[in-house]
Amino acid sequence: MSDNGSSPEPHESPPEAEDRPDGGASRSKPRGKKKRKSTEARAATATTAGAGLVAAVRALARRREKKRVDPAADSAEADTSNLEAVAPEADAGDSLTERRAEARMGGGQDRIDAQHARGKLTVRERINRLLDPNSFEELGPFLEHRHTAFGLDRQRHAGDGVVTGFGYIDGRRVAVFAQDFTVLGGSFSETQALKVGRLLETATSSGLPVIALLDSVGARIQEGIWSLAGFGDLFWRNTQASGVVPQISLMLGPCAGGAVYSPGLTDFVIMARGSSYMFITGPDVIRTVTGEEVDAETLGGADTHAGGSGVAHFVADDENAAFDVTRQLLGYLPSNNAEDPPIVEAEQSIEPDTAELDNLVPEAAEEAYDVREAITRIADRHSFLEVHADFAPNAVVGFIRLKGRVAAVVANQPEHLAGVLDIDASDKIARFIRFADSFNIPLVTLVDCPGFLPGADQERNGIIRHGAKIVYAYAEATVPKVSVVLRKAYGGAYIVMSSKMIRTDVCLAWPTAEVAVMGAKGAVSILYARQLKQELPSKREAERARLEDEFEKQFNSPYAAAATGHIDDVIYPRETRARVVAALDFLKDKQTAAMPKKHGNIPL
């Protein structure tokens, strides 16, 4: 199949040896693709290469072959080079059209067929599916590498394995770079670094989101230090762009070795299940060094990084779904840190059913519920986009809209580990807060947390350091911050979860809220241990219940916290949406003045 933007039939074909990831990782069979209407529509209208593209490339190849076998022709043409510059039509066989056609073929038809055989789209098919139709403007299509070692002088391709340029997504400008696996396995080269570096520099200075479509075996080892130097430049540019423009990485194939640090530095990583892998060392290297047997999917597949490592923020069933997620995500983000997030007109936002919030929290304090039910009944209907859904499920983070305006929501999840904070949840929450603050997205926090997860493993692995990240992120954030205590807010967890003491702007609580050092049962067991021991056994439990009820009213009640100014108001659950919307409206022009400093030292 030619690189014409149409969807290939997915089936399995083993990659060539030179195209395999670092460590010679084997590939598991990718899942079949399910076409989506939105991407099909873009593909149908996208510019295609077709048979004319192939014919043009073949014509150029014949022209070059003629020059190779007839040196006299070369010398004769050299004498008329100036005339050809004035009248290019005199050399139709070497025209711009043919050069463009050759560049668009990447590594050639055989490699394109091999890419399709793996169930993967080509680089230009991917760009066509992602961007608005006919909106892509390419930069640097004719750049080639300058290296000759290990036969590289015989493997020069226009573009050198990466396509860079600008386009539109839903009418908004974006910068895109996409690796071409058909050219030397998409290996990262000195020339790739130059092209991508220029794109990132322009995107950052122009305030454009950057989207990376990654499909590469890693560094081009034939170029030696030049390839490694290119990685360093890319990482530096990723870092400079961080907090200035959103950066989104789509993993559509392998990403091995040092290459993994570029997506690791970006804001969001989206992985296509079954065809994308990320690891520093591949299965073969691990087997050689440690003797451990592990396949590529288990080591660095989409589900591993979504639920285990937390590297992946979203998992898509196929490439088309990954493009849909990217477009959806971008709809919540501003183009840069000097802009506000996109606003959906109020008449387009759909009011949720807030009445059911009154019955959401169970009467029994130990009974679980799904906090996402609260989120979806506070947000505009169908507006909740969960981030990191499979990682640290005891915390929920994501984007919502409130009367058409974007907000970032953070919530404890009682359905998992009773909503306690552990190491992974702390990292998940802190990083999301910092992203939202970087891009002017207000924070809404729903609190139901009994504390930090106890355990020797948590202590040894640094729960103190990781938990401190949440404190730092909330305390440093300057965007409007609103919190709502739904039920439990105990001890240190209450303080770190956007409390008044770390400068949250508006703190609300439901009547079911318990704001205290600990729950009434635990407190009574400690404070009244001697008194209860002296009670007759027949009266002990009744006395315990009386003391717990007394403690609850005096210390754990939301009204006690409101009386001391730690809670701004106690509200009915059904009032939550209206109160949060009103608070964010009053806070939308919030200004803060920070102490002058180079930067803080977050407890990483």
pLDDT per residue as tens digits for the range 62-111: 544 444 444 444 433 333 333 233 334 445 456 888 888 888 888 889 98
Q: What pLDDT is recorded for position 448?
A: 98
Query: Which one from 119, 258, 274, 419 is the annotated catalytic residue?
Result: 258
3-state DSSP percent of the chain in helix, strand and coil, to 5: 45, 15, 35
What's the pLDDT score for residue 552?
Answer: 79
With 80 as the cut, is the pLDDT of residue 202 above it? yes
> Which tokens is 2 given?
């030619």
Asked if residues 318 and 34 have their Cβ atoms less than 8 Å apart, the reply is yes
- Of residues 148 and 518, more confidently modeled: 518
Residue that wins the pLDDT comparison between 22 and 118: 118
168: β partners: 173
CA torsion through residues 113, 115, 117, 119, sign: negative
Determine which helix (DSSP H) or strand (DSSP E) holds 161, and give its type and residue range.
none
Place domain 346-513+567-587 in its CATH homologous superfamily. 2-enoyl-CoA Hydratase; Chain A, domain 1 (3.90.226.10)
Distance between CA atoms of residues 466 and 604, nearest Å = 7
β-partners of residue 137 are 166
- 556: pLDDT strictly greater than 90: no
Q: What's the sign of the alpha-carbon dihedral 61, 66, 68, 73? A: negative
Percent of the chain surpassing pLDDT 90: 63
Is residue 319 within 8 A of residue 272, CB to CB? The reply is yes
**pLDDT band with cut points at 50, 70 and 90 for residue 37:** very low
Q: What pLDDT shows up at residue 19?
A: 46
Question: Which one is catalytic: 489, 493, 523, 562?
Answer: 493
Low-confidence winner among 5-14, 367-376, 419-428 (lowest mean pLDDT): 5-14
Q: Where are the domains of the chain?
A: 17-49+105-330, 346-513+567-587
pLDDT at 93: 52
Q: pLDDT at residue 512 above 80?
A: yes
pLDDT for the residue numbered 12: 37
Instruction: Note the pLDDT of residue 59.
Output: 52
Catalytic residue among 257, 300, 301, 331: 257
Task: Classify residue 119 as left (phi > 0), alpha (psi -120 to 50) or beta.
Answer: left
Lowest average pLDDT, out of 263-272, 442-451, 530-539, goes to 530-539
Tracing tokens 């003045």 back to the chain, one arrives at 593
| Residues 133-177: tens digit of each pLDDT | 999 999 988 877 676 667 777 777 777 889 999 999 999 999 999
Is 258 one of the annotated active-site residues of the chain? yes
Domains 17-49+105-330 and 346-513+567-587 share a fold: yes
Query: Looking at the predicted structure, is the pLDDT value of residue 600 above 80?
Result: yes
- Do strands 385-387 and 395-402 pair parallel, antiparallel, or not at all (unpaired)? antiparallel
Give the full edge-to-edge strand order of the sheet including 210-214: 137-139, 162-169, 172-179, 210-214, 247-251, 268-272, 314-316
Specify the fold of 17-49+105-330: 2-enoyl-CoA Hydratase; Chain A, domain 1 (3.90.226)
CB 373 within 8 A of CB 364: no
Quick one: angle between helices 50-69 and 96-104, nearest 10?
110
At 291, list the tokens.
């003797």
What pLDDT was estimated at residue 353? 85
| Percentage of residues of the chain with pLDDT beyond 70 | 83
Q: Report CA torsion sign: 288, 292, 295, 296.
A: negative
Which pLDDT belongs to residue 42?
Answer: 52
Which residues does 422 contact at the CB level (< 8 Å), separation at least 6? 392, 394, 452, 453, 458, 463
Q: Which of 310, 492, 560, 578 is catalytic?
A: 492
* Position 30 pLDDT exceeds 50: no
**493 counts as catalytic:** yes
259 in catalytic set: no
Average pLDDT, the chain: 85
Q: Collapsing DSSP states into helix, strand and coil, what is residue 43?
A: helix
pLDDT of the residue at 567: 97
Three-state DSSP at 372 gives helix
d(Cα 237, Cα 192) in Å, to the nearest integer?
A: 13
322 to 126, 129, 231, 250: CA distances (angstroms):
10, 10, 25, 7
Residues in the chain: 604
SS3 375: helix
* Per-residue model confidence (pLDDT) at position 593: 84
Q: What is the pLDDT of residue 533?
A: 79
DSSP, res 306 = I
